[in-house]
Amino acid sequence: MKDISLSEKLILYFMLLGFGAIVLVSVFSFYSTKDALLARTFDQLISLRIVKKNQIEAFFNDRCREVLLVANSTETKKISGLLKEPVNGIPHQLKSDSFLITTSLRSYQNKFRGLGKYFSRIIISGTSGKKIIICLTDDSHGVSALFNTVT
């Protein structure tokens, strides 16, 4: 270094000092930017989790309301009443007036068909243990079965 002039030494020291400063600022910027990006991404994931949680809760609350709506409807109560045990040997109405029953079940099916997006069938049970299964969706051929009676 004895053969290098003073001006060359000053230039060399200023360049080393400048590169050192640039490296320090770059490392600091890299880590602070990395931390900021991670924090922002984490906050976005948290907000997305909250939104999805609210959507899922709303979905299940809607399904519960729909079940309560169907269960408390007068049509459901009438159909459930048709499934009672015969009193004193007199057959219940399900066997006695099949056309009227089929018509009321068909209107029931049409009224609640909109639930078919989430429910494929409604099962109504009477006190006798008999059940009516009302299909809300079409089968693979596009045909909608009205109901099945299960004992």
Are 113 and 136 in contact by the 8 Å Cβ rule? The answer is yes
Looking at residue 47, what DSSP letter applies?
A: H
Domain boundaries, the chain: 1-72, 74-151
Closest CA to 122 of 108, 135, 139: 135
Q: Token pair of 5, please? A: 């002039």
SS3 state at 86: coil
Could you state, in chain order, the average pLDDT of each consecutive group of 10 residues for the chain (151 residues)? 83 95 97 97 97 96 90 82 60 55 76 78 75 70 51 49
Q: Determine the pLDDT at residue 150.
A: 53
Q: What is the pTM of this model?
A: 0.62
SS3 state at 140: coil
